Structure 1
């Protein structure tokens, strides 16, 4: 869950590799939980300064640097927590009514410090109500897909086995945060060019761990959790849809 406080310096810099004309850049967000809609309201970028009041010092700014249809790039520079990119369309559907969740995420680290402890993850939230929200009292499940786990970073709970999803073997963790159950699929080796369907992760949990397909998908995020060290994380392209 993207809600921990860290004292680190990590720059999240997006580099466009798109060949068609790009729309204008978004505003630079600096205030706590400042948001801006992007791609015609399809996404919302949040400057997530969770836990700011308890920090000794620090700052953060976030900005979408380019959009091209449903594909965009963004950057965040900070010395604490993270920024989340939130999908705003296609939510509030029962899992049984979803046919696919295609996504692409191409990213890389530049000059990561030797002590870097961080993850790069999707964060998907379920609720028993179509009007529920993620990380709230209405949340029932949090499903995370970790594309990267550096320096011993680990998810909530403990490992309960492995799962083969999309032709990749993942370490599967289960835990509890607040009132909801967290399932985390952690890649055994780093995936920097991810082009896949996220729905099979839910299908696996339904078939093997009793996840009801009557649950509603209410939030779909992507971001990074830095724990220690420094690096530049560059995103070349990111897109996601709920069909």
Structure 2
């Protein structure tokens, strides 16, 4: 019997992979502008107090992204009013909506510098929110200030000279010493950790140690969910440029 061998032609279909979006390094100045950086971060121009300013502006741009390490620059100038005008920040977009009891660590690195013109009122801080449900409304705000430029934390108690009174002092966390202030902004319980000595321009630590302190000593429930993790500058008045050369934050 004669067998005829027919050639078998295997056709390999071409597969087109989606191209990664180029990093947007242009300047953004809109009141609610949001600039994505990969799938990990978003640069937010949160100018929620803009109406309280006589004049001014706030612009920011991403300068680099390498893996989970990002850098950006914020330029702002505000006059008029006494309230915060903007909180331009880098927001973490992954790993959120986890109960505090299930978070092992939140390692972070933040290297920054700032140039100013004259007197400014501002802070440089991490800003976290927790909620009773995943993605729910914020119940608690936890701030970790690395710098205080003539500003002041929310406090339920003030001294006779008008300065806020801490609920705890000289707390050792993440290689630094802090005073803790507690109060309400009308919508959230606010816990603010401020360094007891100067400004921290290079921070390398575990943000989860601050959350653990609050659950152990200040009644923050471990059943709360971490819904927001941001880092940036709250600007009230003056002129400044905040330059972040290295920043990363992950939730483990």
TM-score, normalising length from structure 1? 0.82
1:25 and 1:66 in contact (8 A); partners too: no
2:77 and 2:239 in contact (8 A); partners too: no
2:174 equivalent in structure 1: 166
- Aligned equivalent of 2:67, options 66, 69, 72: 69
Residues 88-167 of structure 1: pairs in structure 2 closer than 5 A = 88-110=93-115, 112-132=116-136, 138-151=137-150, 153-157=151-155, 158-162=165-169, 163-167=171-175
Q: Which runs of 4+ in 1 moved over 4 A?
A: none
Shift of the 54–115 alpha-carbon distance from structure 1 to 2, 3 Å rule, reads closer
Q: List gaps (5 residues or longer) in structure 2.
A: 1-21, 79-85, 156-164
- 2: distance between equivalents of 1:160 and 1:92? 28
Determine helix, strand or coil for the equivalent of 1:146. strand
Residues 1-243 of structure 1: pairs in structure 2 closer than 5 A = 24-38=23-37, 40-80=38-78, 81-110=86-115, 112-132=116-136, 138-151=137-150, 153-157=151-155, 158-162=165-169, 163-189=171-197, 190-243=199-252
- 1: distance between equivalents of 2:61 and 2:241? 15
2:133 and 2:224 in contact (8 A); partners too: yes
Deviation, 1:114, is: 4.8
Q: List gaps (5 residues or longer) in structure 1.
A: 1-22, 133-137
Deviation string 1:42-80 (CA, Å, 9 cap, x unpaired) is 111112121334433322222111111111111122224
- 1: distance between equivalents of 2:202 and 2:52? 35
Greater Rg over alpha carbons, structure: 2
TM-score, normalising length from structure 2? 0.79
Matched residue count: 213
- The root-mean-square deviation of aligned C-alpha atoms, in Å, is 1.7
Deviation, 1:25, is: 4.2
Identify which range, 71-80 or 180-189, moves more after superposition.
71-80
